[in-house]
Chain A
Amino acid sequence: MEIIHQLIELFPYAILGSILAGIICAFLGIFVVSQRVVFLGASLTQVSVAGVAFSFLHLINLESFLTDVFKIDIEHNAFFHNFEPAFFSLTFAVICVLIFSQTYRQKYITQDGILGIIFVISIALRIIFIQKSPVAEVSEIESILKGDILFIGQTQFFTLLGVTILTVSVFVIFQKQLKFVTFDPETAMAHGMNSRFWLLIFYIIVGTGISLTTRFVGDVFAFAFLIIPSSIGILIGRKISQVFIIAVLVGAIIPPISLYFAFVFDFSSGPTAVVLAFILFIITYIGKKILA
């Protein structure tokens, strides 16, 4: 009990932020997994990390520009002080989904092939960007790039809250369109719905959600929570609403529990969350097999 009190006292935003990151990934993951574009999730996490690495090159100094425009003391403004990595992470992710959404125009390479190319080129660029960064040591930047649940502060928490609200709002407001185009884009188009436009909106929301959660909690956590909670939801949910409830609950509950274990056993919090989610997945899978 004492440890829990300590955790709440020391890392209130980390606990709340990790819950939000888990919810965002689990929610988007339902669509990513059911659309069979899991590799898009993997590629987006790497693209986002490459975007953050790009910000360390300081080729485009957005923070100085914003300081001049808004007359802000950037050192004492948490939002603008961390603006550049999140901005480039998001920009890279949006460019990636824009490219991906246009892949239907060509028939030479499969979507998987294109995502594979994006995946490896992101990793290669990340390495080059870090090596050429003028600001810090490679190992130091690598650890920043990996993100850490414990480093979620007030600004990161509110950013994640904004992303959660945006994601859920878009999916609730345009549920008809997004449901139809993710289920059967060909027929949606034949029935007069602009499938290409709605799929683009879908991919942009997925790109935004993944890039910002990757920035704050790391690529391993983001990718794992895209796949595992939604897979658990799909395994045991008998109705659409049940799939969403189960996936979001798993996404929300595992991260704070993993923070507890990480704190007690001195583990890294992100990987602990992934392992816990995996254990729950295995239990669910075996349970489903036995009951079936």
Chain B
Amino acid sequence: MKFLDNELIKFSGVSIGYGKKSILENINFSILENDFIGIVGPNGSGKTTLLKTLLGNLRPLSGETTRDKVQFGYVPQRDVVQPLLPYSVYDVVMMGRYSLMGKLSKPHKEDEEIVNACLAHVGIEDLKNHRYNSLSGGQRQRTLIARALAVQPKILILDEPTNGMDTPSHYSLLELISQLHDESNLTVLIVSHLLTDVANIVKRLMLLEKNHFQIGNIDEILSEDNLKKTYSSDFSVSKINGEYLISSKKKV
């Protein structure tokens, strides 16, 4: 399989699923350096399964995957991390450094500096000593992003980052994610069920539905026909001041 210089990950004829049950078959795509991809699709379409396969936590059922020793920074769904223990924000972000340290070694000065820089990067350096479990949803999400950045990743993967957030936190988080991509040349993959959000910040879209997979430029993917096929519902897609607006077509 040919692997281009700027390709970080390549899936060729890959089928994904659990056990013998495949969810998506014969997937072909590449993730390039400085890519910004949005992964969207209805519930049960295989978004999480694809994420797990991308991260290497789940083996593909068939096909070939190639990755060039890529370091991932992963931001899970916020609800997955609900600690009872009073870990500080600093403790949580430092966890991002753990996989890079020796098994028995302790954090060095360099690790501390990186953690502090990541906290500053996402704008929560003043929350450093606060308890993670006392933070608001937006602050928690920023902490998890800082932890993912502490890995110094090549690819940042975010799973439903704006889920359950209030409107200001929602938009400021999307702005932060765009900023991370633009300023740090970071390859970003964002999984979301909010199509409009994703369409307005990413470069490419990956549209999933059961046993159907599409990837391409936004204009190409975001057609009314495609959305009808994926969501089994009628949508209208319009572009106002350069921003996509997707709304449901009302039946008269």
Chain A positions near chain B (C-beta within 8 angstroms): 30, 33-34, 36, 107, 173-174, 176-177, 179-180, 183-184, 186-193, 234, 237-240, 242-243
Contacts and interface: CB of A to CB of B under 8 A. Distances in A.
B83 interface: yes
A183 B95 contact: yes
A99 to B, nearest CB: 19
B86 A180 contact: no
Contact of A190 (B74, B103, B104, B131): B74
A234 B95 contact: no
A283 B83 CA distance: 24
Interface string B207-251: 000000000000000000000000000000000000000000000
Contact of B76 (A173, A176, A187): A187
Interface string B89-129: 00110011011010110000000000000000000000000
11 contacts: A174-B103, A179-B98, A186-B80, A187-B147, A191-B72, A191-B96, A192-B72, A192-B99, A193-B99, A240-B85, A240-B87
7 residue pairs, one from A and one from B, having the closest CB atoms: A190-B74, A191-B99, A34-B84, A176-B98, A192-B99, A190-B55, A34-B85
B194 interface: no
A73 to B, nearest CB: 42
Interface of B: 18, 55, 57, 71-76, 80-81, 83-88, 91-92, 95-96, 98-99, 101, 103-104, 131, 144, 147-148, 151, 157
A234 B148 CA distance: 27
- Dominant secondary structure at the A interface: helix
Contacts of A193: 98-99
B98 A189 contact: no
A191 B147 CA distance: 10
A176 B98 CA distance: 6
A189 B72 CA distance: 10
A243 B57 contact: no
A191 B71 CA distance: 7
A33 B84 contact: yes
B95 A184 contact: yes
Contact of B99 (A33, A188, A238): A188
Contact of B74 (A107, A174, A191, A238): A191
A238 B86 contact: yes
Contacts of B72: 190-192
A102 to B, nearest CB: 14
Contact of B86 (A177, A191, A240): A240
B8 to A, nearest CB: 15
A180 B107 CA distance: 14
A171 to B, nearest CB: 13
B98 to A, nearest CB: 4
Contacts of A238: 86, 131
A39 B242 CA distance: 54
Contacts of A190: 55, 57, 72, 74, 76, 157
A30 B101 CA distance: 25
A183 B89 CA distance: 13
